[in-house]
Structure 1
């Protein structure tokens, strides 16, 4: 049984939810998000709450129920508050700059790397080494942050590279530190 899927999703004031068959559209102060739901899942809007029900019974359907409850909840939270993810650049001479929808990274390669941000994701710099990404779509935000991190993943000896703000890099001692 999906315990997450059974919980109703509260719809705050100012959020408009349209459910048309398997299509759901959520509109709020920050924007509009849309999604198609699997045919096994049934969405019901009543008393300013969205209920996620199943049309069939089974383990797989219950897993989808919990998944789509989380996805729809992320849509509601996204159009009201939005999501934020921060990346830290560590390394001597490593830097980044944002111009429009292009993120330029100088991270140890012979040429700077230009990354084009999706239209729904906004980036800004905080200080010289912190990139803050904001979006109403949590899935797209996570994918964008992962692609930026992939440009120069943090290495385990000095920790140089691009990492998430809350990520801890496990350091290795290196060849000189291992000898006694």
Structure 2
């Protein structure tokens, strides 16, 4: 029995949700999102909440149950509040700046790294060592943050690189003579 799947997703007053077959469409103050769920789950809109239930008792249906409910919740949260990730840059000479519609990163390479920002994602650089990524789709925000972090991930010896805010890096001791 899925503990997550059992809970219905409440729909706030300023959000309109529609369910047509397996497609869930949510429209809120930040925008509109839609999602088509797998056939193994049954989705209903009742009493101001969206509930997801498995159609059968198969292993696949039960494993899709909680995930589908989480995806529906991400639609509701994304259209009301949105999602954001913050990246921190650590290292001498490492910095970020906006260059039109692209993010310009100086990460210790012989060249600057230019990252084209995808549609629907908002990137803000409040400080040269901090990047804030926001948007209404949780998976896109996380993917963009992971791609930027992938240009120079944090290394364990000096801690230099791009890391998520609050991420702990296990430090290692260097060579001894």
Instruction: Say whether residues 1:151 and 2:155 are aligned partners.
Output: no
Pairing of 1:159-170 with structure 2 (within 5 A)? 159-170=159-170
SS at 2:114's partner residue? strand
- Structure 2 residue ranges without an equivalent (≥5): none
Aligned length: 177
Q: Structure 1 residue runs of 4+, over 6 Å off? A: none
Alignment correspondent of 1:11: 11
Distance 2:99 2:61 in 1: 45
- Structure 1 residue ranges without an equivalent (≥5): none
- For the 8 Å contact 1:101–1:122, the answer to whether it is kept is no
Alignment correspondent of 1:133: 133
Pairing of 1:1-180 with structure 2 (within 5 A)? 1-176=1-176
TM-score (normalised: structure 1): 0.95
Moved more, 38-47 or 93-102: 93-102
Distance 2:99 2:13 in 1: 35
Distance 2:17 2:65 in 1: 18
Q: Over aligned residues, Cα RMSD in angstroms?
A: 1.0
TM-score (normalised: structure 2): 0.97
- For the 8 Å contact 1:101–1:118, the answer to whether it is kept is no
Distance 1:173 1:63 in 2: 42
| Offset at residue 22 of structure 1 (A) | 1.2
- For the 8 Å contact 2:40–2:60, the answer to whether it is kept is no
SS at 1:175's partner residue? coil
| Offset at residue 23 of structure 1 (A) | 1.1
